[in-house]
Amino acid sequence: MEALSRPLTTHSLQQDFISSNCYKQKILDPTHLNLLNQLPTDPFSSPILLNKFISICTKSIFYNLGIQLHAPVIKLGYFSNIHICSTLISLYSKCGIVSEAQKLFDEMTHRNVVVWNSLICGYLQVNCPMVSINLFMDMLQLEIAPMPFTISAVLVACSQMEAYELGTQLHGLCLKAGFSHNVVLGTNLIDMYSKCRNLEASRRVFDHMEDRNVITWTSIVSSYSQNNQPDEAMALIREMLRSGASPNHVAYNSLLSSFSTHDHLDLCKQIHCRIIREGFEANEYLVVTLMTVYSECNGSLDDFWKVCSGVREWDQVSWNALIAGLSNLGDGEEALIHFSLMREAGVETDHFTFTSVLSASGISSDLNAGKKIHTLILKNGYASNMNVQNGLVSMYARCGSIHDSRKIFSSMDRHDVISWNSLLSGYAHHGHGKEVVELFEQMRRTEIKPNDTTFLAVLTACSHVGMLDKGLQYFELMVNDKTLAPPRMEHYVTIVDLLGRFGYLHEAESFINNMPIEPGPATYKSLLSSCQVHGNKEIALRSAEKLLNLHPADPATYILLSNVLHKGACWVDGAGVRKLMCDRGLVKKPGYSWI
């Protein structure tokens, strides 16, 4: 308090800033310093005082107090001070009042590169990257030499707009200006190339950097993670550790976000162990990401609940992750229970909540719960959200109310590929093959491009209703479309099933033998089932042999082969297969019904 009562000079001001508790704690509260009333006491130090004070207001989010200082700036005659005006531009930009920042910029008679930087960053903060780029062009035309910070800010604008050509030109400018060794610029170049989907360029920039900090490593890891290359991202984390750099929670969070299938579960567990070892297990962002990843990678419910136990504060994000996780793991009833608990806790729901809980209703085929959630969606004003609408289409289709599903679809103002896939999958699931084909042809006439999920729904429908020619036609269409990902195992299994239903067992076997990917157990199991229907013992034996090599502990293989042999009156051989299954300690899994 003594420091605040003595006359204010430049020296005493600096000492007060250094010694004040709020400075040491990095929680800058300018009201605690009581500096506003002391402005007139030392006119010679007022420019420094004003500039520092406005800067503190900007950093500590005391925006209103900072804006009030604009009047003393004009009153004391410092409106032409380039440093104060630059700080005011930054303040207005942080407040989101970029129009006032632009007005102040236009009124300035002299502008240096720092002033230009302030306004360029201001437009970036209000999501106007094109204006930032135009300002940079104007700056170059006035022959004002950019700083590394200037180019760094414009690279962020290029990343937001995915402006690849401009980004490469800025890269050339960096080299020409001698900024190639700047770590911040190199990091932003990695991010820019990544956002523009040129991973090779990102990696080249990274490999040529002499100095790398944790943010640089995090940026290159994120580049591979965001482009669905988790194995490369994992390799980079290992390389980072060997180099002596320690990944931060952002790097781990980005890497975890790239894990999305069961094949990544082991990688997820390895990173989870690393997180615990480095003391990040209490980080709220990592805990929520782990909840999501364990559910998407089809981890066990026990592992999922163990991760959930690490949540210290249950906010909207963690509740959403819990409900979505339970839905992903197929426990729809538990997800609905926790949705009710979330509402009882007074936590606000959003469109992510409703999307997840609609999925839970569909999984549990609880149409009554789905309709209640639909009412809540209308009440809370999320009925026009496309993700929620897609969830409604899927929920009604899964619950057997295909008419309501079509009604929601028709009421949507616009559709995306998920909208079409939800309706197509619903019709295919209920055996409406003709409607699926009609819808698919209608989709092809729109601007929405089908993806591999779309084709799987259409091929499944063709298989279920016996539309052989259409199914083969659509499969060829998918294979020949180079813009699509190659067919997955599920697509090949569907074609094998389609050929098998018509009795084309030799063609189905030849199709499997010529697959560009290694056939999986489901492929041979589908052919073996067709052999049982059509009584082909020869192909059944070959399929069973290959299936047993891939999955010897699957009792279904023995049952299917035994049934084929019994159907061909090979009773002894059939009984021998059953005995072999028992000798190996395998037991047929009993079926069950809701009835």
Task: DSSP letter for 237, please.
Answer: H
- The pLDDT profile of the chain, 595 residues, written as one tens digit per residue, is 333 333 334 344 344 433 433 433 443 444 444 555 545 544 434 676 666 766 766 665 555 666 666 666 666 666 667 787 777 777 777 777 788 788 878 888 888 898 898 889 888 888 899 999 999 999 999 988 999 999 999 999 999 999 999 999 999 999 988 888 899 999 999 999 999 989 999 999 999 998 899 999 999 999 999 888 999 999 999 999 999 888 999 999 999 999 988 889 999 999 999 999 999 988 999 999 999 999 999 878 999 999 999 999 999 999 999 999 999 999 999 999 999 999 999 999 999 999 999 999 999 999 999 999 999 999 999 999 999 999 999 999 999 999 999 999 999 999 999 999 999 999 998 889 899 999 999 999 999 999 999 999 999 999 988 899 999 999 999 999 888 888 999 999 999 999 999 999 999 999 999 999 999 888 888 888 888 888 888 888 888 778 777 777 677 776 776 776 666 656 665 666 666 667 666 666 666 555 5
The two three-digit tokens of residue 340, written as one number: 């009710």
Q: Are 154 and 132 in contact (CB under 8 A)?
A: yes
Alpha carbon 13 to its chain centroid, in Å, reads 47
Q: What is 99-143 written as a DSSP string?
A: HHHHHHHHH-S---HHHHHHHHHHHHHTT-HHHHHHHHHHHHHTT
CA–CA dist 174, 189 (Å, integer): 10
CA–CA dist 51, 49 (Å, integer): 6
The two three-digit tokens of residue 428, written as one number: 């295919």
pTM: 0.76
